[in-house]
């Protein structure tokens, strides 16, 4: 499951993959269920919607993901 979707779910910003796909990513309801990662276009749509809702820190996180790729955790 997508890390960004999990974050939105934890924060109560989305209720389901369908909701996230349509409301935040601006894609079809089945988008998140049929793809392993969000496209850059979908990420930019999420970023724009976060800016519209003045969720600055989360928007910054999405922008970093678009520019530099997903965060890689170092091995212990």
Q: Residue 57's pLDDT is what?
A: 95
Task: Please state, in angstroms and rounded to a whole number, the distance separating the CA atoms of residues 63 and 66.
Answer: 5
pLDDT value of position 70: 67
Query: Shortest CA distance to 66 belongs to which of 32, 43, 45?
Result: 43
Q: What is the pLDDT along the chain (76 residues), one digit of tens a residue?
A: 478 899 999 999 999 999 999 999 999 999 999 998 889 899 999 999 999 999 999 999 999 988 987 666 555 5
6 touches 15 (CB < 8 A): no
What is the predicted pLDDT for the residue at 28? Answer: 95
Q: Let me know: does 24 contact 58? Beta carbons within 8 Å.
A: no
């Amino acid at each position: 499951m997508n890390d960004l979707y999990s974050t939105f779910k934890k924060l109560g910003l989305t209720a389901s993959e369908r909701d996230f796909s349509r409301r935040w990513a601006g894609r079809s309801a089945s988008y998140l269920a049929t793809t392993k990662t969000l496209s850059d276009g979908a990420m930019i749509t999420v970023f724009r919607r976060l800016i519209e809702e003045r969720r600055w820190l989360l928007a910054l996180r999405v922008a970093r993901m678009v520019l530099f790729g997903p965060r890689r955790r170092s091995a212990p």
